[in-house]
Structure 1
Amino acid sequence: MTAMTRMTLDEVRALSEMVLARQGLAPEHVAAVTETIVAGERDGCTSHGIYRLLVCAHSIRNGKVVRDAIPIACDTAPALVRIDARGGYAQHAFNLSRPVLAAKARRHGIAALAITNCVHFSALWPEVEALASDGLVALACTPSHAWVAPAGGTAPLFGTNPIAFGWPRPEGLPFVFDLATSAVARGEIELHRREGRPIPLGWGLDPGGQPTTDAAEALAGAMLTFGGHKGSALAAMVELIAGPLIGDLTSRESLARDGGAKASPIGGELIIAIDPAGFLGPNVAEHLARAEALFEGIAAQGARLPSQRRYEARARSLIEGVLVSQALLDDIKALLG
């Protein structure tokens, strides 16, 4: 049985800050990246929690992250903003540009943010939840490395290419979902490999293009999209609108730039923010109430809203802390040595 250690969220935060600072990351990047890692652990998304410190350390040590990058913003059009992360993590660039994006969305009803030349290692829901908490509807997507085969193919071409959506609610936490267009996040397969557990069929192919339940073989071969051709089409869409459309890399180009380092993907992220009042004017409250009726209709059938499990985990961890694998914790603490 795997030994587990209980940690408070403050302990998770302190550990992340120490590890990232030890890797030479600048303080503003340490703070931004840490909050994303704490959020993942807090909300029960363990594949996006402190496990990612190993991923960050590997990427930094291989020279694939500019440790002290200073993002540069460009006001390209009335409803557009572009920020060059200059090889740093996306989190700091997003924090800097979030107020500008929100202001443009409120001024024009809709606005888009292109974060370019940034390193990705995490989920997208923290960004869209933040914007939804500002009262905006938000949509975000990004390519990654070419790990995923298109439907009917056997060779990696797409990234896991997540799509995240946030919707503000008059009371309580926003409605948020974040899904990879792959059958599962790559970090989930990696956790199965670390723990010696088989993966379900449908997650990946071995290097010969055959279905496999061996996590290591899937990581060496190709991941699969969810829903066959439907997930494949969405993955292609993300490649286009968060790659060439904003002047940044596709997943295959990102992997080529990696040069075998097996570091985190680098590329672009597209975020669209919509102000409901821009469409609805004085009727905004009435129509947001209609949205609440939709959510109630889902819950009334015993179905779970996509963000519900994360929020339930959040409520527990804020009181009880989180359980972390001692083996994983040992590996992370070794980074401090």
Structure 2
Amino acid sequence: MAKETISLIEIHELCVAALTNAGAHQAAALAVAGSIRDAERDGSFSHGIFRLPGFVASLRSGKVDGTAEPELSFPTPALILCDARRGMAPYALQRALPELVRATQRMGIAALAMRNSAHFAALWPEVEALAEAGLAGIACTNYLPVVAPAGARERLLGTNPLAFAWPRPNAAPLVFDMATAARALGDVQLAAREGASLPEGIGIDRDGEDTTDPAAILSGALIPFGGYKGSAISLMVELLSGSLIGQMSSLGNAEADNNDGGPPPRGELIIGLNPDLLSGGCWRAEAETFLKRLEAQPDLRLPGQRRHARRGHVTTTVVEADLIETVRALAF
């Protein structure tokens, strides 16, 4: 499949143009375009420019409101509610995350309940924003049912990602962002586009048989990582980002979705933790001793290190030529 090298600057410009053409206001378009550009920069290609046509489709269908202004409320000093009002999550998060940082700094532990937000990006930006403020963070969201729980054949769970960040003095934070499915849905979709096969243990076909064919998995189901253990973690994400904050499960999201290929507005839970307050100010030495012992292992890479290493030198990305042609058509 033909590829094209394109600058991150042009990626950003094309995304802004395509999103505003589809009805997003400038601030929302800039926020989403920034998340797409940063995903390409960091090598998270399944959350990069590949996602743009879905965002545009959801704006054009009216499922997502590109002009929505998020509404914030504060039921307690440690709880922020953000109703994105069917708006795009990166824009709503720009408004809500600073409030979570302030609440966590004051209270030690605080939570942000995001409601009705169209999330199509990676989760690491949320928790990384907390780590940059010297805080630890946890985030999770559900999706549409594309995963069959361990012991089942029916799609009942989302890919249900879970992200975590830990601050480090004088170093990039430790950050992981992972689907609780054996593979992120976007990675499977990219493999199907490219005609590539996947490793065993990623998904099943319509008959419930193991398969390495991404197209068969897309018509069948992904499976959780780690069997019953991953399935239990995915179930936790369903409840934390669904019922706990007054939102629907992945099944409920599917029932309300118009199947335009874009992100369904849904819930996300973000928890901030202040290690200074929780530890009495003595967390750094213990954590760094432990992490440096890990770093001393010759073949071990801490989560997030590769992503951060790319940031200092990556200015271009390689994208499928037909995808860029589609994006340019949406932009102009």
TM-score, with structure 2 as normaliser = 0.96
Matching residue's letter, 1:95: Q
Q: Is the 8 A contact 1:205 1:221 kept in 2?
A: yes
Q: How far 1:32 sits from its partner (Å)?
A: 1.1
Find the aligned partners of 2:201 and 2:4 in 1 and give their Cα distance: 32
Q: Where does residue 300 of structure 1 map in the other structure?
A: 296
Q: What percentage of aligned pairs have identical amino acids?
A: 44
Find the aligned partners of 2:199 and 2:330 in 1 and give their Cα distance: 32
Find the aligned partners of 2:99 and 2:82 in 1 and give their Cα distance: 11
After alignment, is 161-170 or 7-16 more displaced? 7-16
300, 313, 316: which one aligns with 2:313: 316
Matching residue's letter, 1:55: G
Q: Is the 8 A contact 1:44 1:314 kept in 2?
A: no
Q: How far 1:327 sits from its partner (Å)?
A: 2.4
SS in 2 for 1:333: helix
SS in 2 for 1:230: helix
Correspondence 1:328 to 2:323: yes
Mark the runs of 5 or more structure 2 residues left unpaired by the alignment: none
SS in 2 for 1:69: coil
Q: Where does residue 111 of structure 2 map in the other structure?
A: 112
Query: Structure 1, residues 17-59: CA drift from partner, whole Å, max 9, x if none?
Result: 1111111111121011111111100001111111111221222
Matching residue's letter, 2:232: A
1:1-337 alignment runs, 5 A limit: 2-281=1-280, 283-284=281-282, 287-302=283-298, 303-318=300-315, 321-337=316-332
Find the aligned partners of 2:127 and 2:158 in 1 and give their Cα distance: 20
Find the aligned partners of 1:322 and 1:96 in 2 and give their Cα distance: 29
Mark the runs of 5 or more structure 1 residues left unpaired by the alignment: none
Distance change in 2, residues 1:185/1:174 (3 Å): same
Q: How far 1:214 sits from its partner (Å)?
A: 2.0
Find the aligned partners of 2:178 and 2:304 in 1 and give their Cα distance: 11
Find the aligned partners of 1:52 and 1:227 in 2 and give their Cα distance: 27
Following TM superposition, the consecutive aligned residue runs of length 4 or more in structure 1 with deviations greater than 6 angstroms are none
Distance change in 2, residues 1:190/1:18 (3 Å): same
Q: How far 1:280 sits from its partner (Å)?
A: 2.7
Matching residue's letter, 1:194: R
Find the aligned partners of 1:197 and 1:47 in 2 and give their Cα distance: 15
Query: Structure 1, residues 139-161: CA drift from partner, whole Å, max 9, x if none?
Result: 00001101101001111001000
SS in 1 for 2:218: helix
Find the aligned partners of 2:44 and 2:252 in 1 and give their Cα distance: 28
Find the aligned partners of 2:219 and 2:178 in 1 and give their Cα distance: 22
SS in 1 for 2:49: coil
Q: How far 1:198 sits from its partner (Å)?
A: 1.8
Q: Is the 8 A contact 2:68 2:86 kept in 1?
A: yes
Find the aligned partners of 1:24 and 1:16 in 2 and give their Cα distance: 12
Query: Structure 1, residues 92-123: CA drift from partner, whole Å, max 9, x if none?
Result: 11111112111111111110000001111111
Find the aligned partners of 2:91 and 2:3 in 1 and give their Cα distance: 32
SS in 2 for 1:88: strand
SS in 1 for 2:87: coil
Query: Structure 1, residues 225-274: CA drift from partner, whole Å, max 9, x if none?
Result: 11111110000000111110100011000011114333313210000001
Q: Is the 8 A contact 2:23 2:60 kept in 1?
A: no
After superposition, the CA RMSD in angstroms is: 1.4
Matching residue's letter, 1:301: Q
